[in-house]
Amino acid sequence: MDVKNLSNDFGVEITNFDCSNKIQSDEIKFLKTTMQNKHFICFKNQKLDGNLLAKFTKNFGELEAYPEKDKTKGKLEIFNVSNISEDGEHLSPDDQRVILQKNNSRWHTDSSYRYFPSSFSILFGQETLPEEATGGQTEFSNMLKAYEHLPDDKKTLLEPLHQVHSYNDIRRLEPGLPELTYEEKSNFPPVSHPVIRVHPDRNLKKSLYFTSNTSLEIGGMSLENGKKLHSWLVEYISQSMFCYKHFWEQNDLIMWDNRVLLHRVIPYDYSKYRRAMIRGTVEGNVPVLGPFSNEIRSTV
């Protein structure tokens, strides 16, 4: 296994490592430590299908199941992040499966609509855009660093605030999507998470935690002010000093820490280019704790 840093802050690239093999316990330990310190890994030149991806993902925890009943993917645990159907057909940009992909171009962290949001996402690039194409990269922004650089008045303003994360609210931003069933909605009622999260496994370090893919407001203030603050946050975390853009090559397998990084796909010409990826998602087992959570207050 060869490891090299991708930027000064976060991200490493790993070559000469086959994720389809059985992974040894010392290798899993090394990868977990790397995720803790570097938050993003790109494994080059992998050969995986859905089953092998699921097997690799299980090294890091349980697999999350998709919230919708088999509308947009083949298997409940392996999500298609793709404008290609199960049968290999290039889908129209109006197809609901492609609309869902377009929503991924808003900054987000996977599964924030759950009380226990996902820890890691693991995404395999089966078909990637040709080099001359514009867009299609996956961009990441480091919320630990973004918090560190926040002006003090913004830290004070944000500290007590929450954002509501609702899976159903994707429909508010993308009205072309079909309604969820009563059961799907009931399984994922809205949750609220602190906008400043505290990481007990990182010496109580703080980071930002918000998304743009289900709501464009911050709670705890008027609609107008909540929208203004949200727009400010989006602009702030989009600065290049916090970001790393992954330029895909076919057969890259990338893995990131949803507790630390936000991500988005850079929009591309959905009708011209095929882009097919599959994702395994590691279930989280801790809630998002904020500065005023009892668990945190009792430790300080």
Q: Binding residues for Fe ion, per CB under 5 A?
A: 110
- Residue 138 CB, shortest distance to Fe ion, in Å, is 8
Q: Which C-beta is closer to Fe ion: that of 142 or that of 296?
A: 142
Which residue, 170 or 289, has its beta carbon nearer to Fe ion? 170
Between residues 207 and 212, which has the closer beta carbon with respect to Fe ion?
212
Q: Are 82 and 101 in contact (CB under 8 A)?
A: yes
Bridge partner residues of 163 (DSSP): 193
Which is closer to Fe ion, CB of 110 or CB of 139? 110
CB of 157 to Fe ion, least distance (A): 27
One-letter-per-residue 3-state SS of the chain: CEEEECCCCCCEEEECCCCCCCCCHHHHHHHHHHHHHHCEEEECCCCCCHHHHHHHHHHHCCECCCCCCCCCCCCCCEEEEECECCCCCECCCCCHHHHHHHHCCCCECCCCCCCCCCCEEEEEEEECCCCCCCCCCEEEEEHHHHHHCCCHHHHHHHCCCEEEECHHHHHHHCCCCCCCCHHHHHHCCCEEEECEEEEHHHCCEEEECCCCCCCCCCCCCCHHHHHHHHHHHHHHHCCHHHEEEECCCCCCEEEEECCCEEEEECCCCCCCCCCEEEEEEECCCCCCCCCCCHHHHCCC
Residue nearest to Fe ion (CB): 110
CB 110 to Fe ion: min, Å: 5
Closer to Fe ion by Cβ: residue 23 or 129: 129
Whose Cβ is closer to Fe ion: residue 64's or residue 110's?
A: 110
Least Å distance, CB 118 to Fe ion, is 9
CB of 81 to Fe ion, least distance (A): 7
By C-beta, is 123 or 229 nearer to Fe ion?
123
At closest approach, how far in Å is the CB of 121 from Fe ion? 6
Q: Tell me the closest approach of the beta carbon of residue 253 to Fe ion, in angstroms.
A: 15
- 86: tokens are 């199960």
Which residues, including other chains, have CB under 8 Å from residue 69's CB and lie 6 or more apart? 181, 183, 184
